[in-house]
């Protein structure tokens, strides 16, 4: 099993990088997990909607260049499907059982995902209707992936 987490931008906050490292370490026994970062595009001050769309498009193209047409892709988006942790664990398990040896998760930049990325996705999930910083989303996604493996392996994990 392999999981790729495609992310826009680098993490600069030490506290967040420590949390990411902790979950990456915990996941080692379950799957090969990779974080692939693409550069974020500079957002002009007082950017127009058109300029914001251009930024999302450039960031999206950077990710799309790294994904093959046969890859299974899951995005995180406010409009995506919400599920609880048990449902997410089942969802991941079923994806692997259907022969998907790799699951690719995509976390967009601070402006979100481009329409091209949304169109390419096999599935779209939402953590909440709330908006979270994209840097923290890495921690949330890794924690939920770890929780899903614990659930699927009938191992204890706090609720």
Is residue 126 domain-resident? Answer: yes
Q: What is the pLDDT of residue 55?
A: 96
pLDDT level of residue 154 (50, 70, 90 thresholds)? very high
How many domains is the chain built from? 1
Domain boundaries, position 126: 2-152
In a domain, 159, yes or no: no
In whole numbers, what is the pLDDT of the chain averaged over residues?
93
**DSSP bridge pairs for 75:** 106, 124
Give pLDDT, residue 105.
97
Return phi, psi of residue 2, to 5°. -135, 140
Q: Is residue 157 part of a domain?
A: no
CATH number at residue 144: 3.40.1280.10
Model confidence at 93: pLDDT above 80: yes
Q: How confident is the model at residue 159 (pLDDT cuts 50, 70, 90)?
A: low
Estimate to the nearest angstrom the gap between the alpha carbon of 135 and the chain centroid: 11
Q: Is residue 135 part of a domain?
A: yes
Lowest mean pLDDT segment, chosen from 32-36, 103-107, 114-118, 125-129: 125-129
* Cα(73)–Cα(121) distance, integer angstroms: 5
Digit-coded pLDDT (tens) for 60-90: 999 999 998 888 999 998 889 999 999 999 9
In a domain, 158, yes or no: no
Q: Do the domain assignments include residue 84?
A: yes
């Amino acid at each position: 099993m392999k999981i790729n987490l495609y992310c826009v931008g680098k993490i600069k906050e030490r506290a967040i990088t420590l949390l990411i490292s902790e979950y990456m370490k915990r996941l080692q026994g379950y799957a090969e997990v990779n974080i692939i970062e693409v550069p974020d595009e500079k957002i002009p001050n007082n950017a127009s909607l058109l300029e914001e769309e251009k930024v999302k498009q450039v960031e999206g193209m950077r990710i799309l260049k790294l994904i093959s047409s046969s890859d299974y892709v899951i995005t995180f988006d406010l409009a995506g499907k919400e599920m609880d942790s048990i449902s997410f664990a089942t969802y991941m398990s079923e994806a692997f059982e259907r022969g998907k040896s790799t699951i690719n998760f995509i976390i967009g930049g601070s402006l979100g995902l481009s329409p091209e990325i949304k169109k390419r996705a096999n599935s779209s999930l939402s953590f909440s209707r709330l908006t979270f910083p994209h840097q923290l989303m890495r921690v949330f996604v890794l924690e939920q992936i770890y929780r899903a493996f614990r659930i699927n392996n009938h191992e204890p994990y706090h609720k």
